[in-house]
Amino acid sequence: MAKKPTKTKQAKAKAAAKKPARKVVKLAALKKANGNGLPKPSNKPYGQAGKALTGVQILDFTHVQSGPTCTQLLAWLGADVIKVERPGVGDITRGQLRDVPNADSLYFTMLNHNKRSITIDSKHPQGMRVLNALIRKCDVLVENFAPGALDRMGLTWDYIHKLNPRMIVASVKGFGPGPYEDCKVYENVAQCAGGAASTTGFREGPPLVTGAQIGDSGTGLHLALGIVSALFQRNRTGRGQKVLCAMQDGVLNLARVKLRDQQRIEKGPLTEYSQYGEGVPFGKAVPRAGNDSGGGQPGWIVKCKGWENDPDAYLYFITQAPVWNEICDVIGEPTWKTDPGYATPKARLPKLKAIFARVEQFTMTMTKFEAMDLFNKHDIPCGPILSMKEIAEEQSLRATGTVVEVDHPTRGKYLTVGNPIKLSDSPADVRRSPLLGEHTEEILAKVLGYKASEINEIKASGAITPPKKEEKAA
Ligand code: COA
């Protein structure tokens, strides 16, 4: 039987019970003062009231592409991202696909802007002590190691959560729980396992992967949203949580229209696929659809002037139903406006190939930019196929900060893609990626408050510097 509470305990319980009531009164008073209980709107000019994620510290254990994409976005949004790298080695991409000898590769620099780099050997006892201090201090740990690697370091969820119950632990893995959860995964494996490759390419050819890194960068984007949501929820609950994004799931999320079509195919042919118009029967699974549009308005890629020598002299053209009359007038087929064989979207479906051939006959007489100008005047949706060269030279992308020139101490100037997410009160400035271990001492001293003598001791232990052997080999 529970002991009868003493008088003091009773008094304490009474006081505690009263507490929430006092809070409600406070909140009500605040709401009265501010209208909604939130801080009054800042009167600083937009862009000068800090960044969206100012004050958030990220312990960044990511490497290669998926994880770094996520933490780079968080850094652009204002988080202090502390990238932990193995002494003397660093993120493997520093040395991959190098174009300038002995300088960090574009692969690395373009995925690690606005971060600080600290080198720590997580398998060294002194290194683990530093990591523990960082775990206590930071808000989020982000990692994309192979399954089990973080646990093997000793950094299990239970361990981290005990050290810092507020910490959010965010991971990219190739697969979620299930038969493949222990597999290592790279971009194209995810594109294949997420259903994108089987639905990309031409019907007669093999499955194709896309150049856009929907497995790596796409999953990094998903993870960033998960982290920001977990931070938001933590404001209410006071505790961290695990955030997991599997690359297979991320790709499937981006390929969801194809799972839509998988269910439609069971009920009849996919009439908007050009395969239907060509009279080719459908199989049991969603086929590759070439350049068919994935939505309800049929589209295709058509040649433009110069296509014989320029591999990118093409235009994506959409036969959007609301502007069908304008299309007919512009391409010189005014009778198609009223001809029952062409006048309705349904009537056009079996003839799409012939219609696009006619559009192409017309677009081959002009460059893709001339075609774009002309069709836009009539509100006809279309888009030029832009090469990476054209994108690199496009001044409007420079003006918006989507393509940015950055200077780097060892490689010089290079172009990168800036933050594609534009916030009016949190503009992103793109700063170069850190050199390996560039901020090790700064972080030990300023973030963790270590004295110079302690830093020297950690250095001497070999926990933050490369092993002597490697120094000689370098
Ligand atoms: N100090 C000491 N050791 C460190 C370290 C540090 N600072 N940082 C990393 N390591 C160790 C890890 O502990 C791990 O060691 P272990 O295998 O003995 O446990 C080792 O480095 C390698 O990590 P791992 O993630 O297995 O790298 P990998 O090069 O073999 O595999 C991937 C690379 C990308 C295939 C794998 O990390 C993966 O599948 N990640 C998840 C999915 C993903 O993000 N894929 C896309 C990448 S763009």
Does residue 469 carry a pLDDT above 80? no
User: What span, in angstroms and rounded, lies between the C-alpha atoms of 441 and 235?
Assistant: 31
User: What span, in angstroms and rounded, lies between the C-alpha atoms of 87 and 64?
Assistant: 16
Residue 425 is classified by DSSP as T
Average pLDDT of the chain to the nearest whole number: 93
Which helix (H) or strand (E) is 220 found in, with range? helix 216-237
Active-site residue flag, 158: no
What is the Rg, in whole angstroms, of the alpha carbon atoms belonging to the chain?
28
Residue 286 is classified by DSSP as P
Q: Does residue 121's CB lie within 6 angstroms of at least one atom of ligand 1?
A: yes
Q: Which pairs count as long-range contacts for 443-446, CB under 8 Å and 24+ apart, including other chains?
A: 443/82, 443/116, 443/118, 443/134, 444/118, 444/130
Structure confidence at residue 39 as a pLDDT band (50, 70, 90): confident
Question: Which pLDDT belongs to residue 2?
Answer: 38
Q: Does residue 120's CB lie within 6 angstroms of at least one atom of ligand 1?
A: yes
Q: Does residue 146's CB lie within 6 angstroms of at least one atom of ligand 1?
A: yes
Distance in Å, CA 171 to ligand 1 centroid: 12
Catalytic choice (60, 104, 121, 216): 216
Residue 464 is classified by DSSP as S
Mean pLDDT of 264-285: 94
User: What span, in angstroms and rounded, lies between the C-alpha atoms of 319 and 336?
Assistant: 13
Residue 440 · residue 119 · CB < 8 Å: yes
Outline where 247-301 has alpha helix (H).
247-254, 256-265, 274-277
Structure confidence at residue 35 as a pLDDT band (50, 70, 90): low
Does residue 4 carry a pLDDT above 80? no
Q: Does residue 252's CB lie within 6 angstroms of at least one atom of ligand 1?
A: no
Distance in Å, CA 415 to ligand 1 centroid: 28
Position in ligand 1 atom list of the atom nearest CA 215: 46
Closest by CA to 70, choosing from 264, 223, 249, is 223
User: What span, in angstroms and rounded, lies between the C-alpha atoms of 108 and 91?
Assistant: 8
Alpha carbon nearest to ligand 1 atom 44, residue: 144
Strands 314-318 and 403-408: unpaired
Q: Which residues contact residue 343 at a Cβ distance below 8 angstroms, ignoring those fewer than 6 apart?
A: 324, 336, 337
Cβ neighbour number for residue 113 with a 10 Å cutoff: 25
CA atoms within 13 Å, Cβ hemisphere of 18: 6
Q: Does residue 91's CB lie within 6 angstroms of at least one atom of ligand 1?
A: no
Distance in Å, CA 145 to ligand 1 centroid: 4
Residue 413 · residue 329 · CB < 8 Å: no
Of 17-31, 118-132, 142-156, 371-385, the range with the lowest mean pLDDT is 17-31
Rounded (10°) CA dihedral 96, 99, 105, 109: -140
pTM of the model: 0.91
End-to-end, the C-alpha distance of the chain in Å comes to: 71
Q: Which residues contact residue 193 at a Cβ distance below 8 angstroms, ignoring those fewer than 6 apart?
A: 174, 175, 180, 185, 247, 248, 251
Mean pLDDT of 335-361: 96
Q: Does residue 173's CB lie within 6 angstroms of at least one atom of ligand 1?
A: yes
User: What span, in angstroms and rounded, lies between the C-alpha atoms of 359 and 310?
Assistant: 19
Q: Which residues contact residue 309 at a Cβ distance below 8 angstroms, ignoring those fewer than 6 apart?
A: none
pLDDT tens track for 192-228: 999 999 999 999 999 999 999 999 999 999 999 999 9
Closest by CA to 330, choosing from 292, 367, 368, 379, is 379
What are the DSSP calls for 296-352, one per residue? Answer: SS-EEEEE-TTTTT-TT-EEEEE--GGGHHHHHHHHT-GGGGT-TTTSSHHHHGGGH
User: Which SS3 state, helix, strand or coil, does residue 130 take?
Assistant: helix
CA atoms within 13 Å, Cβ hemisphere of 311: 3
Does residue 171 carry a pLDDT above 50? yes
Does residue 142 carry a pLDDT above 60? yes
Bridge partner list, 314: 303
Structure confidence at residue 255 as a pLDDT band (50, 70, 90): very high
Position in ligand 1 atom list of the atom nearest CA 152: 19
Token digits of residue 115: 């971060």
Strands 242-246 and 115-119: unpaired
Distance in Å, CA 84 to ligand 1 centroid: 12
pLDDT tens track for 53-70: 999 999 999 999 999 999
Distance in Å, CA 442 to ligand 1 centroid: 26
Alpha carbon nearest to ligand 1 atom 33, residue: 146
Question: Which pLDDT belongs to residue 29?
Answer: 55
Mean pLDDT of 250-255: 98
Question: Which pLDDT belongs to residue 365?
Answer: 98
Mean pLDDT of 129-140: 98
Position in ligand 1 atom list of the atom nearest CA 172: 44
Does residue 21 carry a pLDDT above 50? no
Distance in Å, CA 91 to ligand 1 centroid: 10
Structure confidence at residue 319 as a pLDDT band (50, 70, 90): very high
Token digits of residue 313: 């002299």
Question: Which pLDDT belongs to residue 186?
Answer: 97
User: What span, in angstroms and rounded, lies between the C-alpha atoms of 372 and 91?
Assistant: 43
Question: Which pLDDT belongs to residue 11?
Answer: 56
Alpha carbon nearest to ligand 1 atom 35, residue: 184
Question: Which pLDDT belongs to residue 28?
Answer: 55
Which helix (H) or strand (E) is 454 found in, with range? helix 452-461
